[in-house]
Amino acid sequence: MPNNTRVQAVLFDLDGTLADTSPDMTDALNKLFIKHGKQTLDYELVRKNTSRGSIAMIQLGFEEILEEKHSNQLRDEFLQIYAENLCNKTQLFPGVNELLESLNNTDIPWGIVTNKPGNLAEPLVQELGIAFNAVCMVSGDSLSRRKPDPDQLHHAANMLG
């Protein structure tokens, strides 16, 4: 990129990029497993699988292959537990506040594109104190398709101008 090219805007993922949400996700997942008589999982194992989605994380604790209906019920249960414990241990990664402040100070708009459902993403970014400066936030249920499909990114880019 030539030196005279200015960054026009920046889009960030939420989980694992701006914020370390794995501790609260691990706790919620383990509460679900305890409720169903399953062994709890190590934080590192959950962290490595967070990007695979909630059903994939739930499957880590069940030896048997889950039917879709049962998987969906467990996912709904997990998401409810997680919603009730959304920001107990979650923190922004070191340097994130400074980075976002630098973008704001140099008038570079930024936004968040996440696969996390809006009913979880919106209160989380509020709690983390970064919602007010984000020009846009596109959550996992904003559009019919989610990442890795590019629709969310295109939508966010349009919102940024």
β-sheet bridge partners, residue 5? none
Catalytic residue check, 15: yes
Number of Cβ within a 10 Å radius of residue 92? 16
For residue 102, count CB atoms less than 10 angstroms from its CB and return exposed for 0-12, middle for 13-18, buried for 19 or more: exposed
CA distance 152 to 161: 14
CA atoms within 13 A on the CB side of 28: 27
CA atoms within 13 A on the CB side of 114: 24
Catalytic residue check, 141: no
Query: Which residues are identified as catalytic?
Result: 13, 15
